[in-house]
Amino acid sequence: MTPQQTPTKVQLTNAADYRETYANSVQVRVSLWDFFLLFGTINQTAPDSVTIVNHQGLFLSPQQAKALANVLTQNITQYESTFGEIKLEAQPPSGKVIQ
């Protein structure tokens, strides 16, 4: 019989510069050593003008990026089973305003 392990206690704390913000743009760059996620907001006010304001960039190890992908997949599956399928909009033909 093996002794039971006590669960590890996890304590979450926010750093002094912690902030939350909205992002509707995520750009991903990949290198041999890491993944870089760049979060921002998109604003299109004319058919030929899009502005992306980047707010935060995060570097992740490949292992942490894969763990994030797994967590997102699990949560999206749970969300869709509760609220229905998330549909991605088709890309509009060029010249149309995206909002």
Contact at 8 Å (CB) between 47 and 97? Answer: yes
Encoded tokens for 58: 């995060």
For residue 99, name the pLDDT band (cuts at 50, 70, 90): very low
Cα–Cα dist 27/32, whole Å: 17
Instruction: Express each pLDDT in 54-95 by its tens digit.
Output: 999 999 999 999 999 999 999 999 999 999 999 988 666 665
Phi, psi of 62, rounded to the nearest 5 degrees: -55, -35
Instruction: Express each pLDDT in 20-59 by its tens digit.
Output: 999 999 999 999 999 999 999 999 988 899 999 999 999 9
